[in-house]
Amino acid sequence: MTEKELNIKSNIINKEEFQEYAEQTLTIIKEAISKSLGYYGSTTVLEDNYMKDNITKDGFTILNNIKFNNSISATILGIIKDISGDLVRTVGDGSTSSVIVSYYLYKSLIDYIKKTHIAPKTLMDLTKNVVNNISTELEKIATPITMDNLEVIKYIASVSNNNDDGSGNIIYDIYKKIGLSGMLFLEESTNEEDSYEIHEGLTTNYGYVDKIFVNRENQIDADFSNPLVLLFNEKLTKDMVNTWIIDLLGSISANKNVPLIICAPAYDIEVISTIKNNIQINQRRDIHLQVALTTYATNREDYQDLALYLNAPIYDPNSEEWDNALMTFNASPELFITQSCGHCESIHMNERTTTYVGGKFIPAKMDAWIERLQTEIDGYKQQDPSSHVDIQIYNLRKRIANLKGQIATLFVGGKTERERKTRKYLLEDSIAATKSAIDHGYVPGMGLTIPKVVTHTPMAEDTPKEYTVIENIIHDAFISTAKEILENKKHYLDEDTVDNNDDLIRNLIINRQTYNLKTQEFEDDDKTHIINSVETEQMILNSAISIVNLLVTSNQYLSKMPQQ
């Protein structure tokens, strides 16, 4: 039997060929998005039916519109998009820098592996240790944001939004009013101008249960001054209507002309119908009952927030405590009002929300409650990062801001709906960057903070030699990013800066300075306005390492179909 070579095709791409794909793919991506980097970064036109609205300088937007004609590059691109997306969602900036750093790290680490024959897994484990050390040193040099230096917010918000000073200024104005623990949300405006609204009081995501309770001429809103509020943690049923609800309405709302707001998780339809009929009957007698029913979720701690804010007990309508409260009502409505009802200056309702303003809470209890919530946040921060932890921290922060009346909405303007949506995405980045800096502090920008840390932090004498090599590789990768920033200046100023960029960067690192491309001036790091969140620097590095780790430690690639 004659031997012959079988023409077998598989979907296996070996390590060497995969590494070639990885390097070329990173090169193409780096070249595409690096043009947008820094103050002099240029714009990119995205192919679309609405060309005039598809011009962007945002690196992550460019990254999301890159496509490849082969599955290997497309898969690598997908990895980069996923990791960069997490970066942008967390700190609002840095995706372009992380990809550029990834490119230089990948090339350098692969070269080091080939030169020393060190195992890729071993090298990446050592690299992660070096990264942890750098992150710790970054935290040491970060400047915290306080109300005394709050103005830096405008610079952080501006840099993360393609140096839009207008966005930086309006975000700074809002934080001056809501404070560092406040929360800022975005909505699209109905006109061209940006505007904002500070939400006074505590707002819930539950409105009135029926339009019968509307008392404004616009037929949408209901407003009540100095209302009484009853809180229940169980559904109010029809057998309660004739036993006490109507008596309460008649005695409190009609006789005393005081608004009565009842809040329960749900109501039998008969309860709502009876109260509606009672309102309509009294209207025919020219008696206007000031009453409303709203809902709220049970078994949630933020219901306790509302009770604390109003200084109100939460009753189980089938409990002995409520029976005792009704006995108090029958004996002395005034005492019932004092002991069993929550109080605030006003309530505003619509179909979706209810806002309680000027709650009569006890300050000492409120302070203790907020301190407890903050302790919970601090506890979650000590856990390993996860989406679950992030959500818990976010919810706790929102509760604190709601209790303090420190919530604002920024309405994003624009000439067209598309422009408003585009600007909203950019402002989301600005707010994320601002919040990150408030939480973690800020450092000088321009991508040279990590090279400065590496240069000015001496290694211990017993440090493994591989650590020094890896530090130098990271140092040079970030310097390459700074060079890209300076190179983009030529696109506008027609200058040849290639020869002196190395000297300029070296001097910036040694002297701990930042070069302000806008003013073309050198600024000391402790005085510069070219700043960003220290968490941004940490996440740029960590994101780059995550990308490179996946590529460096992969031994082969399996495509969906056999290669031709």
Residue 502 belongs to what H/E stretch?
A: helix 498-511
pLDDT at 101 (0 to 100): 96
Task: Give me the pLDDT at residue 54, please.
Answer: 74
User: pLDDT tier at 301 (50, 70, 90 boundaries)?
Assistant: confident
Instruction: Taking residues 328-352, report their average pLDDT.
Output: 93
First to last CA, the chain: 29
Q: Is 352 helix (H, G, I), strand (E, B) or coil?
A: coil
DSSP string covering 192-232 = SS-EEEEE-SEEES--BSSGGG--STTSS-EEEES-EEEEE
d(CA 181, CA 150): 12
Does residue 218 sit in the same domain as residue 329?
Answer: yes
Do 126 and 261 fall into the same domain? no
* Cα distances (Å, whole numbers) of residue 415 to 138, 412, 421, 549: 42, 11, 11, 44
Contacts of 132 (CB under 8 A, 6+ apart): none
Question: Where does a domain end: 300, 331, 361?
Answer: 361
CATH code of the domain covering residue 342: 3.50.7.10
Count the domains in the chain. 2
DSSP code per residue over 96-134: HHHHHHHHHHHHHHHHHHHHH---HHHHHHHHHHHHHHH
pLDDT band for 463, please (50, 70, 90 cuts). confident
Out of 42-56, 363-377, 532-546, least confident range: 42-56
Answer yes or no: is 401 within a domain. Answer: no
Query: Quick one: average pLDDT of 459-475?
Result: 89
Query: 394: closest CA among 484, 291, 302?
Result: 302
| Residue 244 buriedness (CB in 10 A; 0-12 / 13-18 / 19+) | middle
What b/e readout covers 55-66, taking b as 16+ CB neighbours within 10 angstroms? Answer: ebbbbbbbbbeb
Q: Specify if 396 maps to a domain.
A: no
pLDDT at 2 over 80: no
* Rounded distance between C-alpha atoms, residue 534 and residue 138, angstroms: 7
Residue among 113, 67, 59 nearest 543 (CA): 59
For residues 257 and 326, state if they share a domain: yes
> Of all helices (H) and strands (E), which one includes residue 531?
strand 531-533
323 part of a folded domain: yes
pLDDT of 499 above 60: no
The mean per-residue pLDDT over the stretch 52-62 comes to 79
Q: Which letter, b or e, does each residue of 124-150 get, where b requires 16 or more Cβ atoms within 10 Å of its Cβ?
A: bebbeebbebbbebbeebbbebeeeee
What percent of the chain shows pLDDT beyond 70? 94
- Give a yes or no: residue 538 inside a domain: yes
Segment 98-139, tens digit of pLDDT:
999 999 999 999 999 999 999 999 999 999 999 999 999 999
Of the listed ranges 250-259, 364-373, 513-522, the least confidently predicted one is: 250-259
- Note the pLDDT of residue 481: 92
Residue 139 and residue 208 in one domain: no
pLDDT digits (tens, 9 = 90+) for 136-160: 999 999 999 999 999 999 999 988 8
Q: Given pLDDT bands bounded at 50, 70 and 90, which one contains residue 53?
A: low
**Which residues are registered as beta bridge partners of 203?**
355
Q: pLDDT digit string (tens) for 382-412? A: 876 655 677 888 889 999 999 998 999 999 9
Question: What does the pLDDT read at residue 51?
Answer: 45
Q: Tokens standing for 546?
A: 């995550």
Residue with tokens 């300076």: 486
Q: In 409-520, where does DSSP find H-type helix?
A: 417-440, 449-456, 465-487, 490-493, 498-511
In this structure, what is the dihedral angle of CA atoms 295, 196, 183, 232, given to the nearest 10 degrees?
-10
CA distance 470 to 130: 7
Domain boundary among 338, 361, 384: 361
pLDDT at residue 495 tops 70: no
CATH code, domain carrying 60: 1.10.560.10
Q: 494 pLDDT exceeds 80?
A: no
Across 358-362, average pLDDT: 95
Q: How many angstroms separate the CA atoms of 21 and 43, rounded?
A: 27
What does the pLDDT average to over 18-35? 94
Mean pLDDT throughout 56-85? 91
Confidence band (pLDDT; 50, 70, 90) for 1? very low
Tell me whether residue 139 is in a domain: yes
* Per-residue pLDDT, 11: 83
Confidence of residue 508 (pLDDT cuts 50, 70, 90): very high
Residue 389 lies in a domain: no
- Measure the CA–CA gap between 329 and 339, rounded to whole angstroms: 10
Mean pLDDT of the chain: 88
pLDDT for 3 equals 60
In a domain, 196, yes or no: no
Query: Which of 39-43, 161-165, 259-263, 454-458 has the weakest average pLDDT?
Result: 161-165
Is residue 39, in this structure, part of any structural domain at all? Answer: yes
Structure tokens given for 518: 């806008």
Cβ neighbours of residue 16 under 8 Å, at least 6 residues apart?
A: none
User: Do 230 and 341 form a contact (C-beta atoms < 8 A)?
Assistant: yes
pLDDT at 52 over 60: no
Which domain, by its residues, includes 61? 12-143+446-558
